[in-house]
Amino acid sequence: MKRFLAIILAIVAVAACFAGCTKKSGVMTHAEYEAADLDTPVVVETYVQAKQSWWDNKATFYTQAEDGAYFIYNMPCSEEEYAKLVPGTKIRVSGYKSEWSGEVEIIDATYEIIKGSYTATAFDVTDLLGTDDLIKHQNEFVSFKGMTVVAAGQDENGNDVPFLYNWDGSGEDGSDLYFKVQLGEDVYTFTVESYLCDSTTDVYAAVKALKIGDVIDMEGFLYWYEGVNPHITSVTAAE
């Protein structure tokens, strides 16, 4: 009887320890992350999908796991560490959930590389444009199909142009590219973010070559700024 009771107590102790250790690790699912309040600590396991920038030992990443995506902003990271964080690398990130102009992100973060690899396939969100469901895919690697290029603004001569350097045309070659595409009656502003895809990349050249009326397919990250503002990484003629 005593031996049986000891075995039961040992099983209970192990179960309690396991539950406690699991809780202590604090790793969230994406649903738990979404439910967390702003300005509260979060811990997620995710995979690097693209590196936006590195400067002054801080780096910004687009990351995604199988159940959702995370934008990691200005995470302390040496240049040597930054080089190791190639797409597919799995990391455990601890930081604070924050929001800036509608973009939900993790700030004040630390990380560790852990075993695993995953590269997301672009998810087609074309039919979600203009719906409340689109934001559920914020920061994911996504695609847009069959959208028509419309005028982004006008040049100094008053002629319509298909893209602008910076949102107001104040930039130059090497600046962010802003262009507009239409689906049905709705027009959306998309961006080639120069830190992510600079002037040497194929997508930068492709946007500079656009003509009003072109029908295109695109891939990129579903960034948010006062509404949907995708950071585009690929532009091709519509299939």
> pLDDT at residue 24 above 60?
no
> pLDDT at residue 12 above 90?
no
**Model pLDDT for residues 55-87, shown as the tens digit of each residue:** 999 999 999 999 999 999 999 999 999 999 999
Which one, of 136, 168, 146, lies nearest residue 155 by Cα?
A: 168
Task: Give the pLDDT confidence score for residue 143 in this predicted structure.
Answer: 98
**Model pLDDT for residues 179-230, shown as the tens digit of each residue:** 999 999 999 999 999 999 999 999 999 999 999 999 999 999 999 999 999 9
Pairing of strands 141-150, 123-124: parallel
Which one, of 121, 120, 77, 116, lies nearest residue 95 by Cα?
A: 77
**Model pLDDT for residues 139-167, shown as the tens digit of each residue:** 999 999 999 999 999 998 999 999 999 99
pTM of the model: 0.88
- Identify whether the C-beta of residue 61 lies closer than 8 Å to the C-beta of residue 51: yes
E strand or H helix that includes residue 217: strand 215-221
- Identify whether the C-beta of residue 209 lies closer than 8 Å to the C-beta of residue 177: no
**Model pLDDT for residues 187-201, shown as the tens digit of each residue:** 999 999 999 999 999
- Identify whether the C-beta of residue 50 lies closer than 8 Å to the C-beta of residue 62: yes
- Identify whether the C-beta of residue 72 lies closer than 8 Å to the C-beta of residue 65: no
